[in-house]
Amino acid sequence: MPELPEVETVRRELAPWLTGRRILSAGRVAAPVGPKYARLERAVGQRIVAVLRRGKFLILPLSGGDELVIHLGMTGVLSPEPPPDHERVRLVLDGDEPRTLSFRDPRRFGRCVVVPRGDYRTLPTLAALGPEPLDSSFTPAALLASVVRSRAPLKQLLLSQRPVAGLGNIYVDEALWRARVHPLLPGRRLSLEAAARVHRATVEVLTAAIAARGTTLRDYRTVNGDVGAFGQRLDVYGHDGEPCRRCRRTLERIVVGARGTHFCPRCQRMPRSRARHSSEVS
């Protein structure tokens, strides 16, 4: 699933191309009528004022007071060329070529909707997002305050998007490995010192991944059709059974909140006093 670095890469490619262009037509293509691709007709005649990102959402403010909100889901790809299959939405734009923006979404987990600007009542995940990880509002103290009352595992809390926006399975695993924090550590047992390590590792991982234009494991492509290069720099995600690059202990895979989770049992030890013996949390 595209996470913050992938969505930010797409945003940076779309912004100079889309900003200022008027939408001549907008509609579904081979997609059922439903809330995932809703109210697109409202965008017709409006200009795209900017291309923004909030967490994993792309937000395009429109000149008439609406916003076009796009979530790539698990397999969504935006491109100027209509794809050969699984095209769900197509925008036709004024101005020079290219004049179309197509949204391909084979598994239909993505969204492409028009809402009044700032009205996210139909998008509760967007409405409840925590701070942006690369903004000054994301601090070790803020991270600690957002998890300290919870018994849930830290990995699960970070995936919830409430302590910080935009993280998914790949970058949570990478950040926790860098921070030497066990993914099953309950939020209420996170210390300020450990929160500072998680904060620093999160910023480092996301910054490096954005510079590499994200991670392509299977479906993700940039607007220009390129793949992300950060997959070659993953330290722990997808490397279970291999030696840890830091201590050479064999990396393991467990399940946390129904998500495959990769970690080093030596570098990321659970504090002994209340160590968890179960390797799975549902």
* Residues with catalytic roles: 2-3, 56, 259
In whole angstroms, what is the distance from residue 171 CA to residue 17 CA? Answer: 28
Residue 190 carries which side chain, given as an amino acid letter? L
- Over the Cα atoms of the chain, what is R_g? 20
HSE, CB side, 13 Å, CA atoms: give it for residue 259: 22
In whole angstroms, what is the distance from residue 63 CA to residue 43 CA? Answer: 9
In order of 81, 136, 278, the CA distances from 99 in angstroms are 9, 37, 54
- The count of other CB atoms within 10 Å of the CB of residue 207 is 13
Helix, strand, coil percentages (3-state) for the chain, rounded to 5, are: 30, 20, 50
Nearest C-alpha neighbor of 5 from the set 118, 80, 36, 13: 13
Are the C-beta atoms of 182 and 278 separated by less than 8 Å?
no
In whole angstroms, what is the distance from residue 274 CA to residue 157 CA? Answer: 19
Q: Is the dihedral of CA 178, 257, 215, 69 positive or negative?
A: negative
Pairing between β-strand 23-28 and β-strand 87-93 as defined by DSSP bridges: antiparallel
Decide: helix, strand or coil at residue 59.
strand
- Chain centroid to CA 266: how far? 28
- β-pair partners for 15: none
